[in-house]
Structure 1
Amino acid sequence: MRRIPVVFSIDRNVVTPFVVCVTSLLEHARPDTFYELFVLCNAAGLDDAMREKARCVERISERCSLTFVDVREAFAAAYEVRGITIATYYRLLMPDLFPACDRMIYADVDMIFRDDLADLYERACAGGELVAGVREMNAFLHNEEFDRMKDYLLSIGCDVPNYINGGFLVMNLRAMRQEGIVKRFMEHAGRQYTCQDQDIINIVCRGRIELLPMRWNHTYSHYMWTHAGPAGFRETYRSEIEEAERVGTVHYSGPKPWNGFCPRYDCWWASYRHSPVFDPETCFQAQESVCAALARGERTPEISKWKRLRRRLCRAVGIKKSYWQ
C-alpha cells in the first residue's frame, strides 16, 4: 500500500468544498493508494459540528485517514486581500508541523481531482528541489494588466518564467528544514504581497522550483487561455492541454461553483452529488438560480416610459427611426 500524505488548510467557510474536494480525490484513488489527509486549521474557529462534517470523508473509503492540526494564531497579523483568508498561510508551517515527513502534497480545497497522486508524489522533487508546482504565468499573453503583473513579480524578486501557482504543491519538507526555510517564510508573512503566501513561496524558493505539467493544477487561467487565449500558448502546450482537459485536476482559482455559475461548474456539482454532504435541496436551488439568471438574460428588456414617449415624439415630427431607437 502506497501511503500519500495530503495537506489542506480550511476555516469555517470552506468545510463543504473540502468534503467535495476529498470526495473527488478518493474516488480516483488506485486500489494500492492510501491517503493520509491532514487539515490545518485554527481550532478556535472550527467548532465540533464543523469538524464532524469534515470527518465524514472517512466514510467514503477505508483507504484514508483524517487528522486535524491546530495552528492556533500563527498568522493572526498576516496580510489579507481579495477575500482570501489567513488559512492560506498555514502551508508555510508544514516543514515544522510535520517533522517526521520528508515530503508532502499541499492542495487547495477549491479543486476537483481526476487522477491518482501516488506516482507524482513519489517522483517529484527528486533532484533536491524545495517545491514542485505548475507554472502560473503565460509568456504568450501581452496586455497592460499582465505586463503590470510581470513587473510586480520582478520587483519582489520572483523568477517570472518559473513562478508557480500555490494551490497545488509537492513540498520537500526535509530540505526545507535543513535550510531553515520556515524562518525565511515567516520573515515575509507580514508583508503586503498581492498573492500572499504564493508570492512568499516563489520568493524564498527561487531557483529551487520544479515545474510540473499543467494536468496537476489546471487553473481557471489555464482553461481560459486554452479556449480564448493566445494561439502560441495552445500550440506550444498542446500535449499538456490535451492531458489536462482529459484527466487534469480542475482548480477553481477564479469564480467558485458553489457561489454561482462559472466555467467547469458541472465538474464540481457532479462531485458534490457523490459526496457525503450532498443535499438535494441545495443542489436544486443552485440549478434554479442559474436557470433564472439565464432567463433574465434572454428576456427582452422592458422599454422605459421616457423611451416610449421619445419614440412617439420622433414619429410625430417625422424623425427617421434610426435616431429614436
Structure 2
Amino acid sequence: MNKIPVVFTFDKRIILGAAVTIKSLIDTAKPETEYDIYVYHPDIDDKTAQEFAKMCEDTKHSITFEYISTERFKGAPINKGGSWTEIVYYRLLIPELLPQYDKVIYADTDVLFKGDLTEAYNIDLKDYECAAVAMEPNNENMLCHKYFPENKNELTYISSFIIFNSKKMREENFVSRVFDIIKTFNTRLKFFDLDTLNLACDKIYSLPYRYGVFQSLYYTDDWSTSEEYKFLKNVYSDDTLKHEVKNVIMLHYAGNPGKPWRRKYIPEDYKAFIERIPKTLKKYTFRDLRKRLFSKV
C-alpha cells in the first residue's frame, strides 16, 4: 500500500476547478495507491466539504478540510481582487501543518492529473528541502520570471507541484524563513509564493517536466505560439519536452488560452472530468461566466 499525503489550497471561488483536479487525482491512482488528501482554505463551508468527500466514497482515499485564516499572511503582498490572494502562501506552511508526515506533495487546482504520483513521492530527496519543476535559468535574462540576485539557485522553479521534504524543512526552520522573506522582500515579490519558495530554498531537486506540462505544449504540436516554450527551451531540449509531454503526469492550465472551465470550447479530457464530479460542485462564479461569455476559444 502506497499511502501518499497530497495537499491543495483553495477558496470558494474555484470549487469546480478544485473538484476536477481532485477527481482526476483519485481516478488516475493505481490500485495500490492510497491518497490522504488535505485541503486548507479560508471559507469552504461544511456542506461543500461533504460534497468533496463523496468523491472519496468507496475508494481507499480520504479527504480532510482545515480552515486557515488569511490573517496568517496579513501584510504579505497579494493581487487584490485577483486570483493571487493570501491563499497562495498557504502551501508554504505544509511542513508545519502536517507534522505527522516526513514528505508531502502539494499541487495547484488548475491542473488535470494524467497518472499516479507514487513514483514522484518515492524520489529520494536526500539533502534537498523540496522538489519542483524547473522553468528557466535563474539569471538577469529571464523571460518570464523575476530575477533576484539573492536567489542562489541555478534554475527558477514553479510552485504548482512541490514535493516537500517536510522532516528536513522542519529541522531547517523553513516556515520561519518563509515569513522572514515575505517581510524582507515584500513588494519586490512578483510571483508571490513562487518567488518566496525560490528564495527560501537554495537547493531544490529538479523534477521531470511531466509533473508540470503547460497546456500550450500539450494540446498542439506547434509550439511557435507558446509563450511558455520560449523560456522552457532554455532548460529542456525539444526531444526532452516531447518525451515529457507524451508521458505527462500533471497537466497545468496556466497561461493562454486560460482556465478550461472559463473557455467557450472546453478540452474534451477536461470536460470528461467535469461530468464526473458531483453536480453541486459545478459552481461557476460571475467571473467564470463573464470570461466564458467573451471567450473565443
TM range (shorter): 0.7 to 0.9
Quote the Cα distance in structure 1 between the aligned partners of 2:111 and 2:232.
27
The match for 2:90 is 90
State the one-letter code of the partner of 2:254. S
Does 193-202 or 239-248 show the bigger shift? 239-248
Deviations, residues 228-284 of structure 1 (Å, cap 9, x unaligned): 24699398141343232343311012211111248x8333222212223389998xx
Q: Indicate conservation of the 8 Å contact 2:181/2:199, yes or no.
A: no
Q: How far did 1:149 drift?
A: 4.6
Matched ranges for 1:141-220 at <5 A: 147=142, 149=144, 152-155=146-149, 157-159=150-152, 161-190=154-183, 191-192=186-187, 193-206=189-202, 208-220=203-215
Q: Indicate conservation of the 8 Å contact 2:40/2:68, yes or no.
A: yes
Quote the Cα distance in structure 1 between the aligned partners of 2:282 and 2:48.
20
Residue of 237, 253, 256 corresponding to 2:259: 256
With normalisation by structure 1, the TM-score equals 0.75
Quote the Cα distance in structure 2 between the aligned partners of 1:40 and 1:230.
34
SS in 1 for 2:3: strand
Q: Indicate conservation of the 8 Å contact 1:94/1:173, yes or no.
A: yes
Quote the Cα distance in structure 1 between the aligned partners of 2:211 and 2:232.
21
The match for 2:52 is 54
Residue of 50, 53, 64 corresponding to 1:67: 64
- Structure 2, unaligned runs of 5 or more: none
User: How big is the alpha-carbon RMSD for the aligned residues of Structure 1 and Structure 2?
Assistant: 3.3
With normalisation by structure 2, the TM-score equals 0.81
Q: Indicate conservation of the 8 Å contact 2:208/2:244, yes or no.
A: no
1:201–1:245 distance in 2 versus 1, CA, 3 Å: same
Q: Indicate conservation of the 8 Å contact 1:29/1:115, yes or no.
A: yes
1:281–1:76 distance in 2 versus 1, CA, 3 Å: closer
Per chain length, whose mean CA-contact separation is higher, i.e. which structure has more relative contact order (CA < 8 Å, sep 6+)? 2
Percent of matched pairs sharing the same residue: 26
Matched ranges for 1:8-157 at <5 A: 8-42=8-42, 45-59=43-57, 61-72=58-69, 73-81=71-79, 82-125=82-125, 127-137=126-136, 147=142, 149=144, 152-155=146-149, 157=150
Quote the Cα distance in structure 1 between the aligned partners of 2:283 and 2:102.
44
Q: Indicate conservation of the 8 Å contact 2:48/2:281, yes or no.
A: no
1:246–1:122 distance in 2 versus 1, CA, 3 Å: closer
Higher helix share: 1
Quote the Cα distance in structure 2 between the aligned partners of 1:7 and 1:25.
11
Q: Indicate conservation of the 8 Å contact 1:130/1:175, yes or no.
A: yes
State the one-letter code of the partner of 1:52. Q
User: How many aligned residue pairs are there?
Assistant: 278
SS in 1 for 2:4: strand
